[in-house]
Amino acid sequence: MANVFTMELAGRTLTVETGKYAQQASGSCLVRCGDTAVMVCATGSDKPRDGIDFFPLSCDFEEKLYAVGKIPGGFIKREGRPTEKAILTSRLIDRPIRPLFPKSYRNDVQVVATVLSVDTEIPPDVYAMIGASVSLSISDLPFMGPIGAVVVGYVDGKYIINPNSEERAKSRLHLTVAGTKDAVMMVEAGANEITEDEMLEAILTGHEEIKRIVAFIEGIQAEVGKEKRVVAEPEVDEDFVAKVRAYAMEKVEWSLDTFDRYEREDRQDQIKAETIEHFSEEYPESAKEIDGIIYNMTKEVVRRKITLDGVRPDGRKLNEVRPIWSETSILPRPHGSAVFTRGQTQVMTVLTLGPMSEVQILDGLSEEDSKRYMHQYNMPPYSVGEARMLRGPGRREIGHGALASRALEPMIPSEEEFPYA
């Protein structure tokens, strides 16, 4: 049975339709605002995935060029891999909903947001986040939401919720904030020298609107929501935990009694192996449980050292930073190069300038058709001491590249002042 729900959001009418499309999904809805329409479907598997210790959630933001009346280019004439914008929006959907599932949940959950129509004044990303919250809330999946999401702009000293294209162009701030009615779950921002007080006020302003959105979704859930699945939390053998703590606590303290990171890791591996061996006869299938108990004990000891002794695991006091050094012009041929090192984290950056004919051509849903400043981030396996296959950049790398890009973009001279890519 189709149901239609509406609310006023930022001077526009937000419409949510349920029960009409994608009825075999665990939960689905069509979200409309102006001429922008996004269909969001959430589906979960019936059985948990074996042999994993994480929650297998995947979120995908699907851009369809028919949403803006375009035919895809190339010989195939259909959409290819996700654009950078689609990947970043997928990450926006994922981050606020992931913590709202039970920690022990191991069933696959997939959220797919498909953009069906785009009003250039109303970007679809926030409505995809709201749609994900609606679909999960009305499904039988054990989602402990709902959440709401808004974009906050800052123009002439005033905060604007979900600004239009003209307001976005003038805004010194582009803040996406998501949360429940009680707390902020996620913020992502780009800004041009916003003060801490202005940023805090922007987050609080956004959260007030989020409370209204959450109340709206709670009303939808109360009317059409399915009964939630019951997730049985794993039973904890308190006697076993006490035995492991009694045996391993001094060993954990010893493993952390060094400022050398690699020695700490070696000691941790050693005490885990010793503890598993010690309990192998009495508790032969307990390796995973022991690993979790020692992990919690390690957090406890580290926290105690920081709060009581004022010393972090690497020996730094609370007001100390890791050793920092940098160097510029390290490569002879590229237009610019530098290395920046803090502790054991090191970044090499290489800069290339080109004519405006070398800008990146964008084939997406936004009005922007090119990009002259491209910031690419790569994290090869050797950077974390691992040996694995080299692949193209993943979502995390694309997200971190966008983070760095937003920080530097306000400092890039305009095309009129500096006509280079």
Same domain, 331 and 254: no
Same domain, 178 and 80: yes
Q: Which of 170, 127, 134, 182 is nearest to 10 (CA)?
A: 127
Task: Please name the helix (run of DSSP H) or strand (run of DSSP E) that holds residue 178, with its range, or none.
Answer: strand 173-179
- For residue 154, CA distances in Å to 11, 31, 91, 280 come to 17, 26, 24, 60
Same domain, 42 and 167: yes
- For residue 69, CA distances in Å to 111, 217, 358 come to 25, 31, 26
Residue 41 lies in a domain: yes
Same domain, 78 and 132: yes
Q: Which of 191, 195, 289 is nearest to 236 (CA)?
A: 289
Tell me the pLDDT tens digit for each residue of 201-225. 999 999 999 999 999 999 999 999 9
CB count in 10 Å sphere of residue 153 = 21
Same domain, 178 and 55: yes
Beta strands of 10-49 (E only): which ranges? 12-18, 27-33, 36-48
What's the total number of domains in the chain?
Answer: 3
Q: Residue 24: which pLDDT band, with cuts at 50, 70 and 90?
A: very high
Same domain, 259 and 185: no
Tell me the pLDDT tens digit for each residue of 311-338. 888 888 889 998 999 999 999 999 999 9
Higher-confidence residue of 133 and 168: namely 133
Tell me the pLDDT tens digit for each residue of 93-115. 999 999 999 998 999 999 999 99
User: Which among 194, 224, 254 is the end of a domain?
Assistant: 224
Residue 37 lies in a domain: yes
For residue 102, what is the domain's CATH number? 3.30.230.70
Same domain, 169 and 37: yes
Q: Say if residue 146 is preceded by a cis peptide, omega within 30 of 0.
A: yes
Is pLDDT at 80 greater than 90 in this prediction? Answer: no
Is pLDDT at 140 greater than 90 in this prediction? Answer: yes
**DSSP-assigned letters across all residues of 254-323:** HHTS-S-HHHHHHHHHHHHHHHHHHTTTTSTT-HHHHHHHHHHHHHHHHHHIIIII-B-TTS-BTT----
Is pLDDT at 368 greater than 80 in this prediction? Answer: no
pLDDT, residue 344, reads 85
71-80, 145-154, 316-325: the lowest-pLDDT one: 71-80
Residue 30 lies in a domain: yes
Beta strands of 19-132 (E only): which ranges? 27-33, 36-48, 57-63, 107-117
For residue 248, what is the domain's CATH number? 1.10.10.400
Residue 232 lies in a domain: no
Same domain, 11 and 154: yes
38-42, 308-312, 377-381: the lowest-pLDDT one: 308-312
Considering the chain, what is the average pLDDT of its residues? Answer: 92
Domain of residue 62 covers 3-224
Q: What are phi and psi of 284, to 5 degrees?
A: -70, -25
Same domain, 250 and 195: no
Contacts of 32 (CB under 8 A, 6+ apart): 14, 15, 16, 17, 127
Q: Residue 117: which pLDDT band, with cuts at 50, 70 and 90?
A: very high
- For residue 333, CA distances in Å to 312, 337, 374 come to 41, 9, 20
Task: Give yes or no for a contact between 40 and 26, defined as CB atoms under 8 angstroms apart.
Answer: no
Q: Which of 85, 88, 96 is nearest to 178 (CA)?
A: 96
Strand partners of residue 339: 327, 348
Higher-confidence residue of 8 and 363: namely 8
Residue 177 lies in a domain: yes
Is pLDDT at 177 greater than 80 in this prediction? Answer: yes
Residue 184 lies in a domain: yes
Residue 314 lies in a domain: no
Higher-confidence residue of 95 and 234: namely 95
User: Which among 246, 280, 309 is the end of a domain?
Assistant: 309
High-pLDDT (> 90) share of the chain, %: 66
pLDDT, residue 35, reads 95
Residue 230 lies in a domain: no
Same domain, 94 and 171: yes
Distance of alpha carbon 32 from alpha carbon 23, whole angstroms: 18
User: Which among 251, 279, 309 is the end of a domain?
Assistant: 309
173 HSE (CA, 13 A, CB side): 28
Average pLDDT over residues 80-99: 94
Tell me the pLDDT tens digit for each residue of 259-299. 888 889 899 999 999 999 998 888 888 888 889 899 999 99
Q: Residue 241: which pLDDT band, with cuts at 50, 70 and 90?
A: confident
Same domain, 117 and 19: yes
- For residue 408, CA distances in Å to 401, 403, 412 come to 11, 9, 7
Q: Residue 165: which pLDDT band, with cuts at 50, 70 and 90?
A: confident
What are 405's two structure tokens?
Answer: 């890009």
Q: What is the pTM of this model?
A: 0.90
Task: Give yes or no for a contact between 220 and 138, defined as CB atoms under 8 angstroms apart.
Answer: yes
What ranges in 332-394 are assigned the alpha helix state H?
none
pLDDT, residue 79, reads 83
Same domain, 276 and 210: no
Three-state secondary-structure class, residue 91: helix
